[in-house]
Every structure is written in structure tokens, then in C-alpha cells.
């Protein structure tokens, strides 16, 4: 049996005529899922154009970040790429659609690069991090690296909106990973 290291979190919504309520984060519930990090920073982004792509990002040790990502307006395709040195799934990726409508979240542990593309205009994404931002630990790899081969759900010929930083990220082959493999290979999302 493989252990899901990157986890798709599907929370139950309780609805009535007024709308719905959901518990987004509960430390004891997440600990039962094997997520026992302490979150210390919340981030919130707005991406105005459809097909805005942010990523693939990470922070290197000792300032690595576990992330819990959710889309609170619109729809995104969220991706995690295994960048743990020695992992049999190094360079492999998993992805899921997160939306305000479905309420799903993606947990991405330290040792994985993270990125997403917006699937419609005016998307807002929030995420919890287990460490604060550290510019000297900031890193990334190219969103379109053919060695990774992410199947971004964009119309053929679409060029995503990218930051200057994301246009200049290195290829995975040029990255010397400082992240150790912990014995848990990346598994498909359940």
C-alpha cells in the first residue's frame, strides 16, 4: 500500500437554504490524515487573466514550506512535482482542479515544487505555509520543463501569463536538489 504524500483534501460541506458551512482546517483532523506540520503563514493571491500560471516554486532547507492550497474564487489546476533527491518518482507530478465550487484543498509537503494555472479570470487562491517567506531560500523550476511534462489544461497554442521570475526558472536537470528522499514515493491522488 502506498502512502499519499501529496494529499487531496475533500472537506464535507453542510448546507441549507442559507448556503453552506465547512471546516477548512482542524489540527486534530489533519493529524489523523498524516499532516502534522504547524502552519505559521497564510498567503492570498489574485490572478486577473485566465491562464495565469504561477510556479513551479519551493523554498530550500532549512526554510522549506509545507503548503495547504485552496481556491476561494474561480478554478485552478494545482500541481505538485517531486524534487526529492533519490526519489524513484523524482520529476513526477500530480495535479487536481481546485475551485470555489468544489472546496477541495491540496496538501503539498516540503520537497515538492508547487504551481498552478488559473482556468478562468479573477481567481483567488489562499494557502497556509509551515514557514515564513525567506528570499535566500526561494527557488523554482520551469513550468514547461519537458522532462517533467505537466499536462497543463490550457487550449492549444495558449501562452500563459507568467512573471519575469517564472520565465527565467532553470530546468529540473540544472537543479541540484537539497531535499532528501524519505522513503515515500509520490502516489496518484486518491
Active site residues: 57, 127
Question: Which burial class, exposed, middle or buried, applies to 187 when counting CB atoms under 10 A from its CB (0-12, 13-18, 19+)?
Answer: middle
134-151 burial code (b ≥16 CB/10 A, e <16): eeebebbbbbebeebebe
| Best CA proximity match to 114, nearest among 43, 66, 47, 173 | 66
Task: Supply angle C-alpha 141, 10, 120, rounded to 5.
Answer: 55
Cis peptide before 141 (omega within 30 of 0): no
**In this structure, are residues 123 and 117 in contact, taking their beta carbons and an 8 Å threshold?**
no
| Best CA proximity match to 20, nearest among 80, 78, 101 | 101
What is the DSSP secondary structure assignment for residue 173, as one 8-state letter? G
Amino acid at each position: 500500500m502506498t502512502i499519499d504524500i501529496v494529499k487531496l483534501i475533500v472537506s464535507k460541506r453542510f448546507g441549507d437554504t442559507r448556503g453552506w458551512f465547512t471546516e477548512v482546517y482542524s489540527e486534530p483532523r489533519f493529524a489523523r490524515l498524516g499532516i502534522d506540520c504547524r502552519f505559521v503563514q497564510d498567503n492570498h493571491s489574485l490572478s486577473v487573466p485566465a491562464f495565469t500560471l504561477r510556479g513551479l516554486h519551493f523554498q530550500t532547507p532549512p526554510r522549506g514550506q509545507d503548503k495547504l492550497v485552496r481556491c476561494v474564487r474561480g478554478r485552478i489546476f494545482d500541481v505538485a512535482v517531486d524534487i526529492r533527491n533519490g526519489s524513484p518518482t523524482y520529476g513526477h507530478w500530480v495535479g487536481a482542479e481546485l475551485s470555489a465550487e468544489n472546496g477541495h484543498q491540496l496538501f503539498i509537503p516540503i520537497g515538492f515544487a508547487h504551481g498552478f494555472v488559473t482556468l478562468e479570470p479573477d481567481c483567488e487562491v489562499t494557502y497556509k505555509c509551515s514557514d515564513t517567506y525567506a528570499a535566500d531560500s526561494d527557488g523554482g523550476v520551469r513550468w514547461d520543463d519537458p522532462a517533467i511534462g505537466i499536462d497543463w489544461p490550457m487550449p492549444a497554442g495558449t501562452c500563459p501569463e507568467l512573471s519575469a521570475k517564472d520565465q527565467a526558472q532553470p530546468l529540473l536537470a540544472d537543479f541540484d536538489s537539497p531535499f532528501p528522499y524519505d522513503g515515500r514515493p509520490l502516489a496518484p491522488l486518491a
